Amino acid sequence: MTGRKPRPKQMAAPRKTARRAATVRPDPPPTPGMAIPAGRQMPQDARLTPPVHEAGRTGPPNGDAFHTIGKRNRKVEGLAKVTGRAIYADDIALPRMLHAKLLRSIHAHARIVDIDASEALAMPGVRAVITGRDLPEYFGIIPWTQDEQALCESKARYVGDAIAAVAADSELVAEEALRRIKVRYEVLPAITDIDEALAHPEIQVNEKASEGNLSKHVHLEFGPVDELLEASDEVVEAEYWYEGSTHGPIEPHCCVAEFDATGFLTLWSSTQVAHYLHRDLAKVLGLPTQRIRVIQPVVGGAFGGKSEPFSLEFCASKLSMITGRPVKILYTREEVFYAHRGRHPMRLNYRTGIRRDGTLTGTDARIHIDGGAYSSFGLVTTYYSGQLLTAPYAMPAYRFDSTRVFTNKPCCGPKRGHGSVQPRFAFECQLDKLAERIGMDPIAVRRKNTMSENARTVNGLRVTSNGFLECLDQVERASDWKRRWRKLPYGRGLGVAGSMYISGTNYCIYPNEMPQSAVQLKLDRSGRATVFCGISDIGQGADSVLAYIVCEELGLDLRDVRVVAADTDLTPVDLGSYSSRETFMCGNACLDAARQLRERIAETLAERWGVAKGDVVLANGMAVAASDPRKHALSVKDAIQAAEARHGTLGSVGWYQSPKLGGDYRGGTIGASPAYSFTAHVAEVDCDAETGFVSVKKIWVAHDCGRALSPVAVEGQMEGSAYMGFGEALFETHTFKPAAVGHGPGIHHGPSLLDYRMPTSLDTPELESLIVESVDPEGPYGAKEAGEGPLHPSVPAIANAIHDALGIRCDRLPFSPPAVMNLLRQGDARAAWERSRAGHATSGARG
């Protein structure tokens, strides 16, 4: 039987060690004084309990083995992409469609005194011009920090901030019209770094800040930090700098809006959060949600850069409402750099202690975060900078004090590994230094401190499956670590790092009690299944995961499953593609929906054949009785028809809602996830000490994804993550020119793919993916995330490898040749390298 049974009892509540500092201001409710919205109605207990399946959630549903799951399956949209038939937002062209362009600020900080668009409006081919006054409503992805307008109404807060939009017959006319719009600015002093932001509260970047330039401050402390640090044998104290970076999806942001004569708005947009966009469109445009349809076409990469609403979506919609014609906006690459939401620059000051036997004692972290001009996800980022800081290690005590500030630069946001990649870098470098201090192998130190399965972290995160030790074993073996670490010649080295990451954030961005993911499944006599789901495939293979699950459950061929996704008219809500949640959450919803139909078919056949239901197997297009497949066999199509005759029209729903998790303190829900993935990297570098060039020869990536539903897709994520981290480590600089003669500060140094240097295929190391499967009890077939976790160890593994190679500590990103040369020139780098070799030779036994 499939039924919803009470959830097994949760693990015992953690010891309450969290103390909230007096400086923490409570987050205000989203709409003070309002009654509880209908969506917050308390659900029935049974609704919150995941169904318990006879065959279990983690094992094969048809017989003893998987038939689709675990195979190297093709992606469902792969052929359309490689043959150029996939329809991206910019491929959409509607009759009478207009093109719009945004006018952007040339000042980092300026009051908008007056905008005169009369000359632009008079141009032939110009159909409408809008400014901030036309879209005054504030929006923002986090309900508590809505501080953005589609077009700045009173002032511009960074070079590139949008202040007007023109719709015209062509892009060229729209672009020329932008130059005819006269904006009178009153230039204000600009804040472009963290220290300036703190030192000059009187120059306020964002008026929505509660004080000065403070975006968010978090101070959390778990366990007796000072006491344990005091009692440590060694304490390493260091400052790290993590440079900001952009996502760099190949497809820039693009949307097409069509407002029809009945007052219905359809928006096609390159987004990864169709549902949140839907809500904010309604808010800003003043339309009811039921008169808006958001469709996500095929997306050419996002990496977190499309996980909130952007100016173009509101402007295209508004311009369509004004002109009565469809309107397209396609950002240039330069505009993508201004829309940004990339990785936050962070300055991290850490003190970490260890005992001589290798046991970690505690960490004291002070973190400053450069947020850019708006909040975006910043409230969450600030928590993330500390919530996963010590994982995957059992750290008995730590404290973090994180401050996010506003600056007059493009707004930072979530980039693959949101908020936790920077602290991971600092912590894994700390570990390497501590291991060196006590003369222990850095892999041994990690192994010694690894938290167990079914553990709870000191800050209250529930950890279920944990394959970290296996990850360490795999990279150690594959890289021949024991024979080569600390033994390679000068210039060559190996480095290790580890990490843990969430499989979906446990809570929706706006508080409600409705499901986080849902699937409607349709199956009919044609032998074809259609999955309807709000899931957002941004290239990672989310749609394919649903198809694999349906194939596994119903024995269908991959070609006979269609996925209809991310269309708010057709699909039930899923919150979108962020925090590595799709496989885990939509996958579970889909598994539950498909299992119901599988059961109906199995029941029908069991009855017809006179066998036990458990005897019925649906696989490879056939339905058979496993006990006598020669006697009892039908095509799956015939089996579906039998079930349709027996039960009526075949359809089912499934949904996912995570259990209540997290620490019992403000912010304790952030970092909480139903499951965690684990990763270890070993990087090998070859450095040119004469020039400072670091060549990463190879990265071994071992990742515990629970179960690989399609190993080739998991490997793609592992390689892509390692590549992205490698690019941030060595190449990427999202930096700004200082003020000089003729201009103010805050101008991006080179907002193009030529000057913002992402590594090419020639620069990229060999990447070896080693999949570890811990089979999570709550994941679909045991699966956990693979899209973001494998990025985290990339940067520190390279930094630690450079130390093994050259004896220098790269504590600041990027490790560019000039930066490496500067470190080599300081002090006695070569002698430090000799010492590290000698030190290891004498104390190696202890490792």
| Closer CB to other proteins, 325 or 748, in the complex | 748
CB of 426 to other proteins, least distance (A): 24
The amino acid that residue 122 corresponds to is A
Integer Rg of the chain from CA: 27
DSSP label of 660:
P
Helix (H, G, I), strand (E, B) or coil at 717: helix
CB of 115 to other proteins, least distance (A): 16
CB of 149 to other proteins, least distance (A): 20
Q: Is residue 333 packed enough to be buried (19+ CB in 10 Å), middle (13-18) or exposed (0-12)?
A: middle
Q: From the centroid of its chain, how far is CA 235?
A: 33
Pairing of strands 214-222, 155-156: unpaired
CB of 759 to other proteins, least distance (A): 6
| Closer CB to other proteins, 93 or 762, in the complex | 762
| Closer CB to other proteins, 12 or 762, in the complex | 762
Matching residue, tokens 């979530």: 414
81: phi then psi, degrees, rounded to nearest 5: -70, -50
Among residues 445, 517, 516, the alpha carbon closest in space to that of 485 is found at: 445
CB of 590 to other proteins, least distance (A): 37
Cα distances (Å, whole numbers) of residue 210 to 157, 192, 199, 378: 17, 19, 16, 14
Matching residue, tokens 């110009």: 126
Spell 801-830 as b/e; 16+ CB within 10 A means b. Answer: bbbbbbbbbbbbbbbbeebbbebbeeeebe
CB of 378 to other proteins, least distance (A): 25
| Closer CB to other proteins, 44 or 760, in the complex | 760
CB atoms within 10 A of CB 223: 18
DSSP label of 7:
P
| Closer CB to other proteins, 671 or 746, in the complex | 746
| Closer CB to other proteins, 89 or 434, in the complex | 89
Among residues 557, 639, 546, the alpha carbon closest in space to that of 591 is found at: 546
CB of 176 to other proteins, least distance (A): 9
d(CA 681, CA 424): 13
d(CA 323, CA 38): 35
Q: Are 359 and 431 in contact (CB under 8 A)?
A: no
| Closer CB to other proteins, 160 or 671, in the complex | 160
| Closer CB to other proteins, 359 or 735, in the complex | 735
CB of 823 to other proteins, least distance (A): 12
Q: Which two tokens stand for residue 740?
A: 């000089």
| Closer CB to other proteins, 138 or 693, in the complex | 693
Q: From the centroid of its chain, how far is CA 150?
A: 24
State the angle between helix axes of 442-449 and 468-478 in degrees (0 to 180), rounded to the nearest 10.
Answer: 160
Cα distances (Å, whole numbers) of residue 766 to 577, 769, 800: 28, 10, 18
| Closer CB to other proteins, 139 or 331, in the complex | 331
Q: Are 829 and 823 in contact (CB under 8 A)?
A: yes
| Closer CB to other proteins, 290 or 691, in the complex | 691
CB of 743 to other proteins, least distance (A): 4
Helix (H, G, I), strand (E, B) or coil at 384: helix
- Interior angle at CA 67, CA 73 and CA 613, nearest 5: 145
CB of 542 to other proteins, least distance (A): 27
Among residues 627, 637, 599, 758, the alpha carbon closest in space to that of 246 is found at: 758
The amino acid that residue 411 corresponds to is C
| Closer CB to other proteins, 189 or 817, in the complex | 817
| Closer CB to other proteins, 159 or 388, in the complex | 159
Cα distances (Å, whole numbers) of residue 713 to 76, 82, 540, 707: 12, 16, 7, 12
d(CA 379, CA 513): 21
CB of 5 to other proteins, least distance (A): 55
* Residues forming the site for other proteins (CB under 8 A): 104, 106-107, 159-160, 171-172, 175, 179, 252, 330, 332, 334, 690-692, 731, 737, 740-743, 747-752, 754-755, 757, 759-760, 762-763, 816-818, 821
| Closer CB to other proteins, 564 or 819, in the complex | 819
d(CA 127, CA 119): 12
Q: How many CA atoms lie within 13 A of 93 on its CB side?
A: 3
CB of 479 to other proteins, least distance (A): 23
d(CA 342, CA 748): 13
| Closer CB to other proteins, 265 or 316, in the complex | 316
Q: Which two tokens stand for residue 8?
A: 């097994």
DSSP label of 749:
S
CB of 101 to other proteins, least distance (A): 9
The amino acid that residue 792 corresponds to is H
| Closer CB to other proteins, 455 or 739, in the complex | 739
CB of 485 to other proteins, least distance (A): 26
CB of 750 to other proteins, least distance (A): 6
CB of 91 to other proteins, least distance (A): 13
